[in-house]
Amino acid sequence: MKYEKDIFEIIFFARGGQGAKTAAEILAQSAVEEGKFVQSFPNFGPERSGAPTKTYLRISDQPILTHEPIVDPDVVVVLDDTLLGSQNVSDNLDRREALIINSKFSSEKIRTIIAEKGGKFEGKIYPIDADGLSLEIIGQPRPNTVILGKFIQVTEVTRLESVVKEFRKIFEEKIGSELTTKNIEAVEKAYDEI
């Protein structure tokens, strides 16, 4: 099914305004920092705050030629578990592949919700309470960056140091060093979570 096996493909499901594009961008730049090739683009629709969005990210050791949207991802990241009701997040995810989701629910519960909506997913589900973690450490709901910690732990597609470095580069000027440090702390905590 998958056309190019050596390209690692990720789909982010989120709602407009939740920062999926930023999350993909941080990962993309981290991978570039490590000498890899990337491609990241949103599913180009009307961007409205709160509406479901899809963002694609490819990472590869070889140049990426294709421009088709990702149809068969290796990993899916869901930033908002209410999307399970309207989006087929597990499409083309097989048993060896992973679903990382910002949720308080258990993986069994998430699997049940997917099944109730007519989906079928036998792979591993990694729920992480990214909202809770970011509220606790940062004091603001910033699931998009916190979930990156979990993402790296699960996929090892880039290194935590690269992501931290990139985060600092992109955000230090925008949000100040104190808030940046707290965000990074939250990413690291998510990375260490089992």
Partner 1 sequence: MEKKNKNNIALTGGAAAAEALRQIEPDVMPIYPITPQTPIIETYAKFQANGLVDTEIIRVESEHSAISAAVGASAAGARTVTATSSQGLALMHEILYITSGLRLPILLVISARALSAPINIHGDHSDVMGARDSGWIQLFCENAQEAYDKTLIGMKLAERVKMPAMVIMDGFNTSHSVENLKTIDDQKVKKFIGELEPVNPLLDVDNPVTYGPVALQNSYFEFRIDEEKAMQEVFIEYEKIAQDFEKISHRKYDYFETYQTEGAEKIMVMAGTSAGTAKVVINKLRKQGEKVGILKINLFRPFPYQEIAEVLKDAQEIIVLDRAQSIGSKPPIYSEVISALFQAKKLKKVKSCVYGLGGRDLFQKQIEDILTGKNQEHYLT
Binding site for partner 1 (CB under 8 A): 3-4, 24-25, 28-29, 32-42, 44, 61, 63-69, 71
Q: Which is nearer to partner 1, 32 or 175 (CB)?
A: 32
Rounded distance between C-alpha atoms, residue 113 and residue 149, angstroms? 25
CB of 63 to partner 1, least distance (A): 7
CB of 124 to partner 1, least distance (A): 27
Q: Which is nearer to partner 1, 29 or 134 (CB)?
A: 29
Contacts of 136 (CB under 8 A, 6+ apart): none
- From residue 168, how far is each of 121, 171, 178 by CA, in Å? 36, 5, 11
Q: Which is nearer to partner 1, 34 or 193 (CB)?
A: 34
Q: Which is nearer to partner 1, 74 or 131 (CB)?
A: 74
CB of 45 to partner 1, least distance (A): 9
CB of 71 to partner 1, least distance (A): 7
CA-based nearest residue to 79, from 60, 103, 62, 55: 103
Contacts of 64 (CB under 8 A, 6+ apart): 7, 37, 38, 39, 58
What does the chain come to in residues?
Answer: 194
CB of 110 to partner 1, least distance (A): 28
CA-based nearest residue to 54, from 24, 31, 96: 24
Q: Which is nearer to partner 1, 33 or 185 (CB)?
A: 33
